Amino acid sequence: MRKNTKSDIIIAAILTLLMTFMEMTALPMALLCDIRFKDVEPIYFSLMLNFLLAFIICGACRKFLLREWRFGLHSEGIAEGLREYGLPALAATVAVAVSFCIGLSPLDNRPTVWRVLIEGILYYVGVGIMEELYLRGLLQNIIEILFGKKKNGTLYAVLIASVLFGAGHILGAAGQPVLTIICKAIWAAGLGVYFGAVYVKTRNLWVPIILHILIDLCGIPVCFSGTSMYPDIALVTSLVSFVLLGVYGAVILRNEKQKDESSYNNLSDKFNSEWEREMIEENKNRTSAARREDWKTEAMPEQHETFVLSRSFSDEEMTALRHGNIPQAMEDKWFWYMEGSTLWAHRSWTGHCIFRIDFKEDNNHIVTVNRNSEQYKCTSIDEDIESLNKLLDWWTQTPYDHYNEWLAETYDALEKSGRE
């Protein structure tokens, strides 16, 4: 697994611009087809075919040109992300939909089922996927990569992508009253912060895609009205609801920055339980290899990711790893053991499984890393590789010096916190 190169960033930037152009202009499909069906406006068919073409282009780039680009299009963590961050979006969708029903009353237009299905549902499904692909999956990641490890880089990436998201809605609202255009730009930026924050927390692009689609569905009542203008009550409700979602997104980002897998200040508290103290005392003079039952542990969560670690180990180093480590003091932060050719590394304070290493004879070892944001903060494979290599340098020493390893890890954490 390598870092994204400059060419990756350039390709991703070009793809972002291309997808933006295709969504905003409906080109080239607007020139190639003029589909008329029932009471559905022809432009919707052009837009949706354009979406399909953009998805094909994006998929091809992902397969052949951006193989290392992490969009986050995987199934793990979708349900958890929606449960944790989706309720405010659902509440906002209901509030805005009700305001449309009230403001557009009486809903005396009688569209066909096809118009409701295509203009009110399928089109917005395409919009949600399209915009999240190029705004969060591409643009936000590009900006985050360019900022690197600079202080507040992730925050700036979310904000910049959100402002551009809001600006894009100015063109989309052409022909509307000036006040409506301003409101749409503001609330779109707020939604951008919300979607971007959820993406940062989950690193699963399907979560903001689903939330985006859900929120867009609040416009279904417009299909039953003869006007495309926003009624005052819907304008105000949308502005308040979506700006509040933006505020919620900012809170999510703030909590992400402050959160760590455990607080250093609570270190001694985590060892206050009778069991942990007894285990430390019991294992102080232990010489046999560590076993799974020697410590309280949790299984690797469903939210995880795999990568290849290329590294060779001497016979002495493998012997040290097979011996494992049972915490001997409060500063001893890791419990690890081996079963067969697999090493399991758990945080001693919480029992959370952070790394699983399946050793291979060709020295291309398969590593599974925890991606539950409540248990392990890191989301970058490059940082995982750097951290794991440092840990393995310590763990393969004979004897293992847990105290100096703790000092080094604490220093790295403080240095990283200072950069952020």
For residue range 161-183, what is the model confidence (pLDDT) as tens digits? 999 999 999 988 878 899 999 99
Report the pLDDT value the prediction gives residue 412, as an integer from 0 to 100: 58
- Please report the sign of the dihedral spanned by the C-alpha atoms of residue 155, residue 156, residue 157, residue 162: positive
Nearest CA-CA partner of 370 in 307, 417, 420, 291: 307
Strand partners, 368: 306, 356
Q: What is the token pair recorded at 56?
A: 């094909």
Report the pLDDT value the prediction gives residue 148, as an integer from 0 to 100: 74
The number of beta carbons lying within 10 Å of the beta carbon of residue 209 is: 24
Low-confidence ranges of the chain (pLDDT < 70): 1-4, 149, 256-287, 330-331, 398-420
**Pairing mode of beta strands 334-339, 342-347:** antiparallel
Q: What is the pLDDT of residues 187-199, one digit of tens each?
A: 999 999 999 999 9
Give the integer Cα–Cα distance in Å for 234 and 259.
37
Give the integer Cα–Cα distance in Å for 53 and 267.
54
Counting Cα atoms < 13 Å in the Cβ hemisphere of 271 gives: 18
Sheet of 304-310: strands edge to edge?
304-310, 364-370, 353-358, 342-347, 334-339
Strand partners, 337: 344
Quick check: 358 and 342 in contact, CB under 8 A?
Answer: yes
Give the integer Cα–Cα distance in Å for 106 and 227.
12
Q: What is the token pair recorded at 134?
A: 């190029």
> Omega into 399 within 30° of 0, i.e. cis?
yes
Nearest CA-CA partner of 330 in 396, 388, 264, 261: 264
Give the integer Cα–Cα distance in Å for 157 and 212.
19
Tell me how far apart the 2 most distant CA atoms of the chain are, in Å: 82
pTM for this entry = 0.66
Quick check: 321 and 345 in contact, CB under 8 A?
Answer: no
Strand partners, 366: 308, 358
Quick check: 70 and 2 in contact, CB under 8 A?
Answer: no
Give the integer Cα–Cα distance in Å for 47 and 53.
10
CA dihedral of 204, 205, 210, 213, whole degrees rounded to 10: 160
